[in-house]
Chains A and B, each alone.
Chain A
Amino acid sequence: MTSAIVALFAREWRIARRIGGSGAMGVVFFLTLVVIVPFAVGPDPNLLARIGPAILWIAALLASLLAFDRLFQADAEDGSLDLLHMGETPLEVAVLVKCAAHWMATGLPLIFAAPFLGLMLQQERMALLGVVATLLVGTPALTLIGAIGAAATVTVRRGGLLMALLVLPLTIPVLIFGVSAAEAAAGGPVPFLSPFAILCAITLVAAALCPFAAAAALRHLGE
C-alpha cells in the first residue's frame, strides 16, 4: 500500500506541475485580491495595518477555493476515479493523499507569497510571521474541507459555484481562529497560543474526518 500512496502522490504532484496554472494562478489571484482592497477601503496605513491579517486570510481562502473544483472532477471525467476505487488503498487514504499533493501544489505557494503581500499592507515583522504561521497551519484544513465540496459536486457540470457555496460556510471556524491568531501575533489582548492551538485542532479534526466525508460522497456519486 505504501508504494501505491507514493505513486499517487507523485502522479498528482507531476500533473499539477506539468499542467501548471493552478499554483501560479492562485498566487496571482491572491495578489490581485490583496492589491484591490486598498482601492476599496482607502490607502490609510493605520487602517491597512489593522485589517491586514484579515485581508490576507480572506484572499488566501478565496484563492485556494479557485483550484478545488478540479480536485476530483478531472479524475471522474477520464475514468481514473473508478479505478482509484479498485486499488488496494482505501479510498479515504487516496483522498487524503490527493489533498496533500493538492495543498503542496496550491496552498504552499500562497504561504510563500503571503509575507511579500503583507508588506504591501503595512504589516510589522511579527504580524507577517503570525500570518505565515497561521496560513501554514490553517490552509491544510481549507484544502480538506474543500475536498468535501469537490467530492459532493464531482458529477455537477460547472459545479465550481455550487462548491464554493457549500465550502465557504464550513471554513468560517478556520477563518475566525486563523485571523484572531494572526492578529494576536501582531500584538493584541489575546495571547497568540490560544487561538493558534484551536486552529491546529481544527486542522487535525479536518484531517481525521474530511477524507471519510469526501470518500463517502465519491462512493455514493459513483453509483
Chain B
Amino acid sequence: MNALIITLAALTPVSRLWRGASAFSIDFPMTLTGAPPESPPASRQPADGPPILRLRVAGVCVARGGRRVLENVDFRLAGGGALVVTGRNGVGKSTLLRALAGLLPLAAGTIALEGGGADDDFTRLSHYLAHADGMKAALSVGENLDFWAAYLGRERDARSRPATEALAAVGLSHALHAPFGALSAGQKRRAALARLLVVWRPLWLLDEPLTALDRASREKIAQIMQAHCALGGLIVAATHESLGLDGVAELALGAPA
C-alpha cells in the first residue's frame, strides 16, 4: 500500500508535492487509509504565495435532534490537500460538512482554520456546496454567479474569477444568459460548482459534488479541484465515488452502530 502511494506521489507534478501534502491523524472510531506522505516541513511555506492554511478538527461532536450524530471526529488537513469523507448513508457525512461550514453548533470539540488571515473565521473562508445548488431558477446563470460573487466576496482576490471564466471552466460558456431553471440536472450541478470559482475561498466543502455529472464533466471538475489544491486550497468532499484526484486522504466515518 505504502509503495503504491509513494509511486503515485512520484507521478504527481512536483509543485503539488511541495505545496500539497496533508498531515493527517485520526482517532477511534475513524479509520484512515491512503494518506499522502508528509512533505518536509521546510517546503510548507512557499516563498511567494500566502501562508499555508491548516484545517484542524479536534474532538468534534455534533448533536442533531438530541442525538449525537458525530462523535470525536479528528483530522488535520494542510493547504493543497484533499480529504474524502466516506461512510454508509446516514452516518453523518453531510452533518460533518455542515458543521465545518459553521452552520451547525458543535456539542464538543474545535474546528480551526489556521493561517487564513486576521480573523481565521472558517465560515467566511469556506465554500459550501450542498445537495441543493443555491441558485435561483428565475435568474440567469450569470446573474446567479454575479450575485454570489458580490455577496460572498470579501475583498476581490486575484484568485477569484469572473463568471464567464468560471462557466468556461465547467464547460457551460453557452449558458451564461440561460435561466438557471432551464438547465439539466448535471448542468445545474456544474453551474453550482462554478460558484466556487467566482469567489476565492480556500476551503471547499463539497457534498456529493459529482451527482448527475457525466464522465467528461467529472474530468473537468477533477481538474478544477486539482487546480484549487495547487493554489493552496483545501477540499473536504463527502462522496461515494472517486473524485479523480491523486493523493487524496480518506476519512471513513462510522463505527459499527
Contacts and interface: CB of A to CB of B under 8 A. Distances in A.
B102 interface: yes
B150 A7 contact: yes
A78 B151 contact: no
B105 A80 contact: no
Contact of A80 (B104, B136, B150): B136
A26 to B, nearest CB: 18
A78 B101 contact: no
B64 A78 contact: no
B117 to A, nearest CB: 12
A15 B138 contact: yes
Q: Bin the interface of chain A by size.
A: 20 to 34
Q: Is the interface of A mostly helix, strand, loop or mixed?
A: helix
Contacts of B123: 85-86
A11 B133 contact: no
Contacts of B126: 86
Interface of A: 3-4, 6-8, 10-11, 14-15, 18-19, 77-80, 82-89, 222-223
B132 interface: yes
Given A78-B137, A88-B124, A4 B104 contact: no
Contacts, number: 78
Nearest to A11: B147
19 contacts: A3-B153, A11-B143, A11-B147, A14-B138, A14-B139, A15-B138, A77-B132, A78-B134, A80-B135, A80-B136, A82-B128, A82-B130, A84-B151, A85-B103, A85-B123, A88-B124, A222-B103, A223-B64, A223-B104
A78 B150 contact: no
A83 B139 contact: no
B102 A86 contact: yes
Contacts of A11: 136, 139, 143, 147
Contacts of B135: 78, 80
A83 B124 contact: no
A83 B136 contact: no
Q: Give the interface SS of chain B, mostly helix, strand, loop or mixed.
A: loop
Contacts of A18: 138-139
Given A86-B128, A89-B151, 20 more contacts: A3-B153, A7-B147, A10-B147, A11-B136, A14-B138, A18-B138, A18-B139, A77-B132, A78-B134, A78-B136, A79-B130, A80-B134, A83-B148, A84-B151, A85-B123, A86-B123, A87-B151, A87-B152, A223-B103, A223-B104
B40 to A, nearest CB: 35
Interface string B104-129: 11000000000000000001101010
A86 B129 CA distance: 12
Contacts of B240: none
Contacts of A89: 151
- Interface core residue of A11, A80, A83, A87 (most chain B CB under 10 Å): A83
B224 to A, nearest CB: 19
Given A86-B126, A86-B128, A7 B139 contact: no
B147 A86 contact: no
B176 to A, nearest CB: 16
Nearest to B148: A83
A216 to B, nearest CB: 13
